[in-house]
Each structure stands twice: as C-alpha cells, then as structure tokens.
Amino acid sequence: MNIPNFNKCHVLVVGDLMLDEYVWGDVDRISPEAPVQIVSVQREDYTLGGAGNVVNNLVALGANVSVAGVIGDRSDGKRLIEKFNDLGADTGGVIRETGRLTTRKTRIIAAHQHVLRIDRETKKDISGQTLEFITEFIEKKIPVADVVLISDYGKGLITKALLKSITAAAKKHKKITIADPKGFDFSKYAGISLLTPNKKEAALASGIEITDESDLLKSGHKIFEIADIDNLLITCGKDGMVLFDRNRSPHQISAQARQVYDVSGAGDTVVAMMGLAAASGLSFEEGAALANTAAGIVVGKVGTATVSREELILASHTHSDHSLLKHKSLSDLPTLIQELKNKGKQIVLTNGCFDLLHAGHIVLFSASKQLGDVLIVAIDDDASVSAIKGPGRPVISAKERVRILSALDSVDYVIIFSSEQLKTLIEIIKPDILTKGSNYTSEKVVGHELVEQFGGRVVLFPVSEKISSTHIINTIKSNDAVNAI
C-alpha cells in the first residue's frame, strides 16, 4: 500500500488532556518515620499524555492539528499549553476551567525502578460554560477539519451532551468521527462513525467474556446493538484487529510477529492512524491495515509512542530493509534518549569496529543486553576503521554492518560515529553501562571517565584472543596464500 503524505491533513482532536510527569531520583536510605524508601529527587520531566499523546502522534506524521479540551488554571495547565505550542498545534479550543485540576500522572523512578505513581485529577463533568465554549470551537473548526478524533479517558470532558454536539456538527458537514472509548456505557457514542475499543474494553461494554474468536464476534455484534455507530474496530494486541461494518462481514487484520517492549500509547497511535487514513481518503479497511502496522512499530520500540511516515513505508513493504528502523543518527539521539530515560529504561552502550561479525561479538551483545533494558551499538565509520585497523579495512562497509547488527534481537539501536565523536556520543547517551571485551582494562576503555562522571560504570566481558576479526581475516589471507602456491 502506498503511504499518503499527511501534511495536508487537518485533524480536530477533542479529548481528555493529561500531563505525564517523571520524577527521577536516588534511594540510599529508609525513612525513620515509616518503612518506606526516601527518594532524593534529581530531576523532573514532563510529556503529553491522554489526548495529548494522540496529538503527538498526529504531528509526528506531519498533520495539522487543532485541540479542544479542558485544563486547570495553574502551572500544570500552562505546561500543557507550552508542550502543544512546541508541536505547533492550534490550542484555541483548550479552556482553563477555574478550580479544576489539570490531570497529572506522576511517576517516581529511583535507581531505574518505577516505585510509585501519583494521580492528580478530577472526573467531574465539565461546567455548562466550558461545554458551550468547546461546542462553539468545534462548530467553528469542523468545516475545515478533515476528520474529528475523540479521545475519551473518562475525566469528565466527553459527556453525552458534548458527544451529541460533535456528532450533530459532523453530520451537518459530512465529516467522519472516530472515538477511542472509555467506560461501560457505549450508548453515549451514538452517531460516531468508528469506535476503537481494545478487547478488554469491548468485553466490559458488551458483557461478554472474550476467550476466543467466536466470543469476539459476539461482542462486536452486541456493541452494535448497544451503540448506534457505523463501524467498530476492536484491537486485540498480538492477535491484530477486527473491523466490523454493519453491512459487511467482519474483517480480520493479523498482527506481524514483533518483539514487544512497551504497549503504552499503542491505542493512541491506532486512533491517530485511523484518523489520518480517513482524512487522506482511505477506507476504514485500508486505515486498519495502516493502524495495525503503526501499532506494531510502536510496541516494538522502548519508551516511544509515535511512528514516522518513513517507518510506516518500511514496515508496509515485506522486502524493505528493516535495519533502517534500528539505525539512528547522532541527531536522532537526544529525543530518543530522553524518551528512554522518561520510561526508566537502563541503557547499555557498546562500541567498536565490528568488522566481520563473529561469535565473540554475539556473546558480547547478548551479555550486554542482559545488563539493561536497551542496548545501543555504536560502530566506527569506515574512515575510523581504516585509521584503527590499517589498509584494506573495513572488509564490510558501515552501511552493511548496520544491516547485519540490526538483524540481532539483542541489539535495539545502531549508531555510526567517527572516532572523534565518541565523547559527544557518550555525553548524549549518558549510558548506565559501557561494555567492552576483557582484552581491555577499565582504565584503557576510551570514554570510561565520562561514563563514570555521569554515574555509569564499565563492564568487561571475557573474550578469546583467537576470536577476532583481524585473526579471521589473517587466517583467510594465509589460506589464500597457501592455495596460491
């Protein structure tokens, strides 16, 4: 399938806006007041959550986005607006309601462990004044929007009254509405073009325990009876998705087998992708195929919840070079590393030439990955390898080395760098662990001072001197010389 350009798509997102806060710290003692850990806070980070993550997904794919929602009138609300402004989203439909809390989910992370989550929120319905403001904004934006996405997290915004206003305005202007639902009562979504619950949500709403495909089909048909909707997409995780249409047989979309690192944000990616597909003129069936692919990419990442058009193109073609999904440039690293650290992931870095991959390298990568959550392999570029190893090296170019390394399950990301960039690389990644073979000593590992300065450590793994790229290459040359005689 050809992947459309989404930069001409205008999407209106109406939903519960949240702020995800990450508090990072260290634990070195127990409180004398109670048997609990004392976390000494080192830093705090903030990201968009809830409907904000839907917006993040849309912008990552190039769409123009207008946002409607409600926030509080204090600092958390201000932070949310700043995040949206950074994305270039239109926040004219975001209203600050006096006395209302901005939903904030605080995750306390100490020593790379998620030790506590604190939720600050209110679930009370929005005021009549807020309803009127948002309704007016929606009625103003719907004529120029290609599609309306509704992200319901049950925080009091997506009421029956607001949904009725949305569907009425959408019907008047012949616009598609897609809702990611919440709660037991799906009847409130009457008039929606497409509803996108996951399997658990579908089971709760239909009252049917889903244990097999037959139960899933019964659940889908029951939801059609409960909610006056046109289409239904039930997402089933590793089992893919099922698209229901009132006038057609259910359509099964199988998920590609992928290693799952993090499922957070997959639902937001699905609703965003379905919206962009609809805005681009694709059918819901075509959109579901794209959404399924996009969700597969997202859960295969560690700590990220967006997907790029380039990743979609690669993943949509069976014979594409999937190594490009793992290959990152130095300019990609700051955002990637921040996202990984926001999720509390322990990062392991190993670097080297890795010319002519052999068993010793495989052992190093496998052992390195076991020390943390994410393994980043940094390889010297061709010029650096030549300078280090001498004439005739590398035997395999950097581009091909990336493809080979990316095929390994133990390797999460591959970076190409020049020797003089190692310091910069370490400063950006700030790895928790730097690994090397034991043919080095910790003091001789280049960059060990920086790693330790950032609170990391160096780990050495035993290697055999007989297993090396140079040894293998020299053996081949010797055999060739003997055969030539």
Mean pLDDT for back-to-back runs of 10 residues, the chain (485 residues): 87 96 88 92 88 95 96 94 96 94 91 85 92 96 97 96 96 97 94 96 95 94 93 91 91 70 72 96 93 83 69 70 76 86 87 88 93 95 92 91 92 93 94 84 80 91 69 70 54
Is 268 part of the annotated catalytic residue set?
A: yes
Contacts of 255 (CB under 8 A, 6+ apart): 236, 237, 238, 239, 240, 241, 292, 295, 296
pLDDT of residue 477: 67
User: Is 201 known as a binding-site position?
Assistant: yes
199 annotated ligand binder: yes
Q: What is the pLDDT of residue 441?
A: 65
pLDDT of residue 315: 75
Q: What pLDDT does 439 receive?
A: 66
Catalytic, out of 16, 20, 90, 268: 268
Annotated binding residue 78: no
Question: How far is it, in rounded angstroms, from Cα 390 to Cα 240?
Answer: 50
What is the helix (H) or strand (E) element at residue 259, kind and residue range? none
Burial class for 421, CB neighbours closer than 10 Å (0-12, 13-18, 19+): middle
Domains, the chain, in order of start with CATH, read 10-320 (3.40.1190.20), 327-475 (3.40.50.620)
Distance between CA 386 and CA 233 in Å, rounded? 54
pLDDT of residue 261: 47
Q: Is 200 annotated as a binding residue?
A: yes
Q: Give pTM, 2 decimals.
A: 0.78
Q: Going by C-beta distance under 8 Å and a sequence separation of 6 or more, which residues neighbour residue 118?
A: 105, 106, 108
